[in-house]
Amino acid sequence: MALCGGVGAMALPSELIVHIFSFLSDRDKLRASAVCSRWRECLFYPALWTELKLRIGGGCDGSDETSKLEFLMRKFGSFVRELQLELAPVEGHLGPLNNEPPSARMEQPLGPDGDPQLSERWRDAMATYLDQVLCVFTSIRNNRNLQKLSLYGDTFILQQEGLLDSSNLHKIHQGDKKINEIQQLFMELLSNSRQLRWLSCGFMLGLVTPCSLACLSNPSAETLQHLSLLDHQLGPLISPSELDRLSNIHSLALDFSDFTSELCGLLASPRRTPLHRLALLLNGAALEFKPLEGTATEDDWKALVRVSANLRVYIMALEVDNSELLRVLKPSLPLERLHLDSYSTLVSDATLELISQQYNKTLTHFLLLRDGPDFPDLSVNRNEDPLVLLAWRCTQLAVLVIHGYTVWSHNLVAISRLRGSSLRVLTVSEESIDFDPDQSLYMEGDPVHNLVKEVSLGLSRVWHPCLDSSGVLSEPTQHFHRELQAFCVGM
């Protein structure tokens, strides 16, 4: 980096060096900081680190990941304005023990108290998680400039399979003490905040309690525009009185069972800022202890839509049977995105029929995923395939993703022709596609090649089926967390 007259880069004023470094990515900034002490001093200038996006974990060396997090938090935690953090301490620990099949995780021997025995690997994973959360909140507790805090704890698989939940934390060394300290630090952060606009806590085991939001400062209660509180293990994390304080909320994400009639009534108040985005997660496994009784009724939705005319709703349903789906899919609900995900539960053709009729003017995203051993045919005993009808009726449909159900090739062609180039995303796993044997009698060439050609013509772009089902299937709650980020800002 030579300059005129042989003057080196070290002669540049610090302000200019900081400006040049502002064009680097976070990763490149950290690499550049190793060049010399002068660069390191300039690179850790607060103006360069107003926003920090991190994903910590995924490896077996949890201590190494924690040390990296400690360094970053120590440097930037006190002044960063936007912090987006995904903690994944359990990745690398979730591989089947002794090469046993994944299903064997459900059959681990029980301990003397009736709980699954926790191996050292599980204990280490959760100990890492607690240490990392403590590190984050110790560093940001007094940050009054924080405007956006988005946290996701990738521990849902442990909770879902019953291997570990907040009641097991006492089995981790100093688990109770650490979780109490984490909760206090979180409430201290909320109390010290002055201009918080975005608060998102997704599946952060043991972090949010029903009392947490009571600590939110009055200035942040006025500035807060997005709130996301998701945790399968607890009851409602926000009370009507606390929601009433947050009069300028534009977007909200909750567990479906927590979206009560009373909360919906508060949001329908004309003295509040109209709600623009609402994301709801419905977990069938949690309905036993978080029932749907008391959730928003049809009249509640009508009242809410009258006040919030531009409201759009995103629902993800995990392992929910058809009877429960029909209970929650109210006619007046302005549904824009629907993600149905399951392993054993089947979505019926009648449910798809209702979806395509009720939400024909609002539905833009529809994901139908099933990670089961068979591929049921939804068009059996029907003149018209329900997915084709959905593509025909839902005139705003832009994203369609299908896996785990049989999709006949001719129906896939019909969908592409009905929606054309307006269908921005059409993702169908190859193993979900089937071919009518009668068609091969009068069609020449390879049927897969013909399908690719016809669908590509219908969409006016090159299209291919998804060859790897892992490209379609993802960890549901992580997908929901990331999608709602885009959904709630109107993307």
* pLDDT for res 46: 74
Mean pLDDT of all residues in the chain?
83
* pLDDT for res 51: 86
pLDDT at 442 over 70: no
Whole-Å CA distances, 365 to 205, 298, 320, 425: 29, 22, 19, 9
Q: Are 346 and 310 in contact (CB under 8 A)?
A: no
Helical residues (DSSP H) of 60-119, grouped into ranges: 62-76
pTM: 0.86
Sequence-separated contacts (24+) of 43-48 with Cβ below 8 Å: 44/75, 44/76, 45/14, 45/18, 46/76, 46/79, 47/18, 47/22, 48/18, 48/21, 48/22
Confidence of residue 157 (pLDDT cuts 50, 70, 90): very low
Whole-Å CA distances, 310 to 287, 288, 334, 336, 436: 30, 33, 9, 11, 43
Q: Are 322 and 348 in contact (CB under 8 A)?
A: yes
Q: Are 256 and 280 in contact (CB under 8 A)?
A: yes
Helical residues (DSSP H) of 336-462, grouped into ranges: 349-358, 386-393, 409-419, 447-459
Among 164-173, 407-416, 441-450, the range scoring the smallest mean pLDDT is 164-173
- In eight-state DSSP terms, residue 374 is S
Q: Kindly state the average pLDDT of the residues 424-451.
A: 83
- In eight-state DSSP terms, residue 440 is G
More confident residue, 16 or 240: 240
The contacts of residue 50 (CB under 8 Å, 6+ apart) are 80, 81, 82
How far apart CA 127 and CA 164 sit, in angstroms, is 12
Query: What distance lies between CA 156 and its chain's CA centroid?
Result: 11
Q: Kindly state the average pLDDT of the residues 36-42.
A: 79
Confidence of residue 65 (pLDDT cuts 50, 70, 90): confident
How far apart CA 8 and CA 5 sit, in angstroms, is 9
